[in-house]
Chain A
Amino acid sequence: MLNPRYQFVLFAGLALGLLSSCSDDHNDTGTEFAPNMYHSVAYEPMTQTDGDTNTINPYGMNMRQPVAGTIARSKFTGNDSLQKELLHQDLISRTIPNDSITYSAAALKNPLAATPENIEAGKLQYERYCQHCHGETGKGDGLVAKMYKGVPVYSSDALKTLNDGHIYHVITHGKGRMWPHGSQITSANRWKIVLYVHELQKQ
């Protein structure tokens, strides 16, 4: 039999151990059974596999940037006239330099009609991509705008008459304090946002 004092120490140690075992290591994924069925042999985008990192690309990246000047045509699949027009406008837009906003205002035309469905779809995209800065009604009073500052009011005299091409250009390439958002939003969604911004210009 152990010394009674040691018994007490043992009991206390056990109790502490049980309590601390509730918080496990958050950096560890735990045991994996058959990891070769868990980790893809092919290089998947945005995945990291220990011991099998990509040796072809720098920094073990699995994704590369598209070749400069190329367009993923798969984004404009379908034979309908709308897809063709979207592609057409995108191609024109890509030839216009970032600083030539007046060209865009003159050359670009929204392929989408201002139907209630399209405007509603535009509102959804606006809420996802714009609202946190430009505010619910386009008054430049979003929660982030309070920190970022200098967000304009769509219905102001200088902005309320801006046309499709101008707004599309600003979303794609940015203007003033706003940085380009072309890489985040598909061109079809940008045109939908343009429709909804027109609604906010009236408010």
Chain B
Amino acid sequence: MIKRAFVGAFPSLVIGLGGLVLWEVSLLVLKPDGFLLPRPSEILGSFVEHFDAIWSATLNTGYIVVTGLIVGVLLGVAWALLVSRFRIADETLTPLAIALNAIPIIALAPIFNAWYGLLSPTSNQAIVVLLVFFPVFINTTKGLTSVGATEIELMRSYAASKWEITKMIRIPNAMPLFFTALKIASSLAVIGAIVAEYFGGSQDTLGQFIVQNAASGRYTNAWAAVIAASVMGITLYLVSGGFERVATPWRPDVDLVG
């Protein structure tokens, strides 16, 4: 299993390392102005040098991302369950969800800072919740409602109740789409948290670290924080994929994209 995973990852490892080497070498040869694009080795140096600050910022940003992601996912799933179950909910909550999604959510960040206090992480969490909510809602609803007529008739022939149909048919049917949404949402959550942090919230976050270092021309440090944020995004994606594999054992090869 582990060996297979390693063999499967080999091509991407080659591409990744090759890209880094190419990046490093071409900058050494071309020698552009250092602040435009630092070399990977310089970024790594910054990362090691500022590890404590970056680690602490990563923990704080990670807290905002994970809590916002959990609340947003729960909200999206609950909303989808209501909408798929009750016509009245569908007629009222679906347009509301679409309207919410039409708001450029990042634009709310400064406003949320005013609501929740400039230094409170709550405003950043709220941005993450709003960003995550919609893809989870729309995909889960699709999964809950795209059950074939034959399947519904079968369940009715067994005198199954509506709740039994939801529990035994609609929810398992929605699983693949839900996990697709979760993977999208986990990346969105990182983006949303960091952009929201640019505008305020706690001062010890990756977003603030990037803004402050970039403002004072220390781009290598900013890059180091970007790397930390990327690692967080990849980790969340992989964790989502892990949950998917455990929750949908009937699907043969749920791979990274599936």
Partners in one complex: no
